[in-house]
Chains A and B, each alone.
Chain A
Amino acid sequence: MASVSSDEWRAICDKFTNAQNLTVVESLNDPDNDPFRSKYKARELLREIYCSLKSFEAGEGEEESGGETGESGESGESGEQLPVEAPVDGQTEEAFSQGFCGDSPAGLRAAKLGAVEYYLGVNHVDTEELSAGQEHLMNSMKLLGRCRVSSENVSLFIHARNQLGILWAGRDETETAQGFLETAESIYQRYMKEDGSPPTDMADYFSTEENQLTHQERTKRFELAYTHTMYYLAQVYKNLGETERAAIYCHSTLQRQLKLNQFSPMEWALNAATLSQYYITKGRYMEGRHCLSAATVISGLAGEVPSEAAAQESETESERREQLRQKRAEIARCWIKYCLNILQDSKKLLEDSIGELDTDRQEEMKRGRRLEEEEEEKERKSAMLFGSEDTFDSIASLEEKVRCLLPMDFTEARAIFLVGQHYVTQAKDYFQMDGYVTDHIEILQDHSSLFRSLAFYEEDLDRRCKMHKRRVDMMEPVCMELNSKYYLMIRRQMMFELAETYNEMMDLKLTLANRQDETESLDSHTIKKFNNLCSASAKYFQMFLDSLCSPEGKQPEHLEEEVLRPALVARFRVARLYSRLICTSPPGQVENLDKSLEHYKYVVDYCDSHPEAVATVETELELSREMVGLLPLKINRIKAKIHANN
């Protein structure tokens, strides 16, 4: 082979630099009718380099058995599709134990030729000639196959497999892609275990001595290639439906970006916060909390939010302010979901059949929560830690502020609630009503749900009732402010929630009154309160039902699927509310019961004429049928009494 300092060699290096420049820089400016012009030029240069390398070999009389790989690009040009049969990647074991040394002349030559094949392969893939690209990449693999993995060639080993992974994934041959990428993964791991020195980058093969990369730069490029392996594997697993594995690889990708300092703080933080949402929906709160804490800490690395004054002075500051505030508010919203989910999950565990706290179960769960539990978590945790030396402590101290075990009583629940509420304030500070209606309301709804979950643990009914009152207070004005023309869905959700909240308050008031006063009758003050809550609940259910009407105010004959159950349930609930209104005058009672009957009848009639609705409201329908049978009797009895009294 030509000596590294010869002119011939220099010419090759120049050509290579040129080809790289064409591929990366020039190609961006190619015209529409000739979009691959620069890449085709680069391809020519690479081919020339290939030939030169070959001729060096010939000149030096070293017989090379790889000659038959030759010019393989031709087949691609003809536009013919090669038979697509999935190749199987060689074993990692062989790659480490067989073939000639990476730093032997033969090994170096193979690596160089392999690199050119690699670049030719990428070039063909980029220009949509997959079959030719595949062939070049496979040639590259074949050449390397004769060598043992070493610092001289390991980078190429990884790169070529990454590319083949992408290529096969693009053909919907996901398993084949998986094979290549997993081999890359194990080669990396074994190399790092057995050698670990900064490996030669492929660009180094074709640069003159003075332009060689530093060790640091070599490591950086090599590690980045492997980060991509992780990232591609995450996608491959996702496409294979292996969500959990995909999440692990996303996690590793994030971990590596952080460790190798290859990340932009805000982007990273947002990704980590998003990953937390995967964990919390799987009930893995320790992982979720770790992601969120890291997200908060790393987002802090992006610097202080510029002041309003600074933002007014310059456009860039204003944009930065906007970006930082928005993304931090997004992270806060992910925290809210963490708190909400953990509260709701424990509620699900602890509630009895009527949605009240099951104290026996609570005791049992508390006893069952062993000390070792947290120890176990620590072990699990070491595998997924984020952080560098300087961020590690801040992440850990943030984690300590909120527990990741399901809360078992009011005190524990309240601690989580308060953290959630803290983030609600933070998120609302950016997502204000004016400008961010949908976001603002989503946050309000979460806040309301936080209260609702906390109320579950509250034993004092009066205080519980006050919590529900807070929910009403935050939603009622907003619901009325919204224009239904643009926010119909959101308004419907809010109306429904308001109706249910009033209903809950009404029930609580009644229980309270009955507890305080064991005697039969309620005092007039309580009756008035009860009736007010009852009417308010009915009012919002009715508003919801009215929102389904046509612009002319006509009830829809056919309820659409997405509102079918809510509409029928609302009818049923209104019916019940009317029958519960406390009224001392018999004619008033009759009036309320008539209304009640009317709504029960609607549910029954609708289900009779729309059999497809039956399945969605089975319980409600059964009760409605019963009431339609019973209420007329009751009404008649009262009517008879009125008649008798007259």
Chain B
Amino acid sequence: MSKSKSSESIKVVVRCRPMNEKEKAAKFEMVVSVDVKLGQIIVRNPREAAANEHPKVFTYDSVYDWNSKQIDLYDETFRPLVDSVLLGFNGTIFAYGQTGTGKTYTMEGVRNDPERRGVIPNSFEHVFTHISRSQNQQYLVRASYLEIYQEEIKDLLSKDQTRRLELRERPDTGVYVKDLSSFVTKSVREIEHVMNVGNQNRSVGATNMNEHSSRSHAIFVITVECSELGVDGENHIRVGKLNLVDLAGSERQTKTGAQGERLKEATKINLSLSALGNVISSLVDGRSSHIPYRDSKLTRLLQDSLGGNARTVMVANIGPASYNLEETLTTLRYSNRAKNIKNKPRINEDPKDALLREFQEEIARLKEQLEKRSGKKKRRRRRRGGEGSDGEDLEEGETEEDEEEGEDKGDYWREQQEKLERERKAIMEDHSLVAEEKLRLLKEKEKKMEDLKREKDAGEMLSAKVKAMESKLLVGGKNIVDHTNEQQKMLELKRQEITEQVHHIL
């Protein structure tokens, strides 16, 4: 990849799964062969009538056959993409293919088996490992999860699963999903939890479960914000966004599993009058007219990934058996077209909507508040010390350095409370006061005690808030110390070297 070039094509890889038991038992022919060296998929038509036909050859950036390992796929194809997300680029992974061709295996794989773990868990691991090894950087990682089904957007992480969300645009930050929730995650475990919650929501509430899962698109978005002191002495924030997109099954929009013959691709007639609008708008020449039917929500939402500011990898999954021939060809042709899409990725530096900046500012603000509070307290204490002296506060803003806040504070509160209690008692026992006056004074004291308590709670809440916010920001080393770190790093380097060598050889 040359550095001066600002545009790059979508990277397209194709993976072919092995024949499954059922296909073997039914003695289906294998029609797909994979040439890993040349990056080619070769498909031949098994029908006798087509015996003279040349097999169809498709070339991609990489191809993977049934022997390919998850980790190889990750290291060669996805690791560089996730690396650039960590540098502040947008990255998108599209998984595409007919249902049953291993899309889920490629993306998710077998969670608890490190060998068979898919792209998603591998990328989680990758992101947080990277952070743990970082130095002098502050990170904020958050995740969102949404689904598009029949042009409706659903927030898979929201409590209310009946609510539909809308796409909106802002002049400064572009397209966004209004009210989409996002969760700050601090570890692999947390982000996995977020994903699991979403996955559960994906499957509930659908009237026709199977149709739903194979016809809906799901997008898991990981936003990695990284703050670092620049040479100019200012903190700079880079924001990388990783979209993990599980596209709806590429099979024809009719059900699979038919007993009889299969349809061939054709310009089919829309049966339902609800599509009349589509028919009409297809007649209109779009140049000087307005067509009230928008691009699909998926396209609008991912426009950056398809010819915009992003690096994009598309992984197409296919099956090798003869009965899937048509669909396999459709998938391969579609992927071929995707190769022509050019992106222009840039590092997103100091964007206006960086959450990290907000966090940093909020923490600073809260800390300042806390400091002011403790300043005020000290003032009072001092005043208490010089009892009787009613002078002006000249110590405004003065703060002592490094007191052990917690205990000291506890003492102070206790003292205050005891003092008030004493005064209250004194009033009660003072017989010189008339009843009314006594009541008034008592009430006053009680109110003071309440105020005191409220102030104390507020202070505690403030410091808790600061702690909570700070805990969401991740820094290397301290957070996740693992001694396997170095070892693992070495191993990874080795693997990377090998991968590169292999590429050189090819």
Contact = CB atoms under 8 A, between A and B. Distances in A.
Nearest to B160: A315
Interface in A164-193: 165-166, 169-172, 174, 177
B260 interface: yes
B260 A485 contact: no
A246 B278 CA distance: 13
A438 interface: yes
A434 B171 contact: yes
A58 B346 CA distance: 80
A146 interface: no
Contact of B289 (A280, A327, A483, A551): A280
A587 interface: no
B284 A274 contact: yes
Contacts of B276: 231, 250, 253-254, 271
Contacts of A315: 163
Interface string B251-287: 0001111111111101111110110110111111101
B210 A32 contact: yes
A551 B346 contact: yes
A322 B291 CA distance: 19
Q: How large is the interface on A (under 10, 10 to 19, 20 to 34, 35 or more residues)?
A: 35 or more
Interface string B237-263: 000000000000000001111111111
A618 to B, nearest CB: 23
Interface in A71-95: 76-77, 79-81
B271 A281 contact: no
Q: How large is the interface on B (under 10, 10 to 19, 20 to 34, 35 or more residues)?
A: 35 or more
A271 B277 contact: yes
A110 interface: no
Interface string A9-32: 000000000000000000011011
Given A238-B279, A271-B277, A483-B174, A36 B290 contact: no
Given A438-B169, A485-B174, A36 B279 contact: no
Interface in B332-360: 346
Q: Interface SS of chain B: helix, strand, loop or mixed?
A: loop
A77 B260 CA distance: 6
B54 interface: no
Given A170-B266, A336-B290, A131 B285 contact: no
B52 interface: no
Contacts of B178: 435
Interface in A240-293: 243, 246-247, 250, 253-254, 257, 267, 270-271, 273-275, 277-278, 280-281
Interface string A309-347: 000000100000010000100110110110011001000
A353 to B, nearest CB: 23
B241 to A, nearest CB: 13
Interface string B36-47: 000000000000
Contacts of B138: none
Given A76-B260, A128-B260, A333-B292, A485 B309 contact: yes
Contacts of B263: 128, 130, 170
A32 B309 CA distance: 38
Contact of A239 (B260, B267, B281, B287): B267
B20 interface: no
Interface string B216-235: 00000000000000000000
Contacts of B209: 32
A227 interface: yes
Given A172-B266, A485-B174, A281 B279 contact: no
Q: Which of B175, B259, B262 has the most CB of A within 10 A?
A: B259
Contacts of B163: 315
Given A32-B257, A334-B290, A271 B171 contact: no
A337 B290 contact: yes
Contacts of A344: 288
A435 B279 contact: no
Q: Which of B264, B273, B291, B292 has the most CB of A within 10 A?
A: B292
Contacts of B431: none
Nearest to B100: A32
A626 to B, nearest CB: 34
A35 interface: yes
A166 B168 contact: no
A482 B171 contact: yes
Given A172-B266, A274-B293, A281-B288, A486 B168 contact: no
Contacts of B279: 231, 234-235, 238, 246, 250
A337 B291 CA distance: 10
B325 to A, nearest CB: 14
B257 A483 contact: no
Nearest to A249: B279
A502 interface: no
A551 B288 CA distance: 33
A278 B280 contact: yes
B289 A129 contact: no
B261 A131 contact: yes
B171 A79 contact: no
A400 interface: no
Contacts of B266: 169-172
A481 interface: yes
A235 B208 contact: no
A228 interface: yes
Contacts of A174: 267
A275 B290 contact: no
B484 interface: no
Given A433-B171, A482-B171, A166 B277 contact: no
A35 B259 contact: no
B291 A277 contact: yes
Interface string B310-328: 0000000000000000000
B280 A435 contact: no
Contacts of A31: 210
Contacts of B281: 274, 277
Contact of B284 (A29, A166, A235, A277): A277
A65 interface: no
Q: Which of B4, B261, B271, B274 has the most CB of A within 10 A?
A: B261
B173 A486 contact: yes
Contacts of B287: 281
B478 interface: no
A273 B292 contact: yes
B174 A487 contact: yes
Interface in A423-443: 433-438, 442
B403 interface: no
Nearest to B168: A435
A36 B284 CA distance: 38
B283 A238 contact: yes
Nearest to A315: B163
26 contacts: A32-B257, A76-B261, A79-B259, A79-B261, A128-B260, A165-B269, A166-B269, A170-B263, A231-B273, A236-B269, A250-B279, A257-B273, A271-B280, A274-B281, A274-B284, A274-B291, A281-B288, A315-B163, A330-B292, A334-B290, A334-B292, A435-B178, A437-B170, A442-B290, A483-B172, A486-B173
Given A281-B287, A336-B290, 17 more contacts: A35-B255, A76-B261, A124-B260, A131-B261, A235-B270, A235-B279, A250-B276, A274-B292, A277-B290, A281-B288, A327-B292, A334-B292, A435-B178, A478-B171, A483-B174, A486-B173, A486-B174
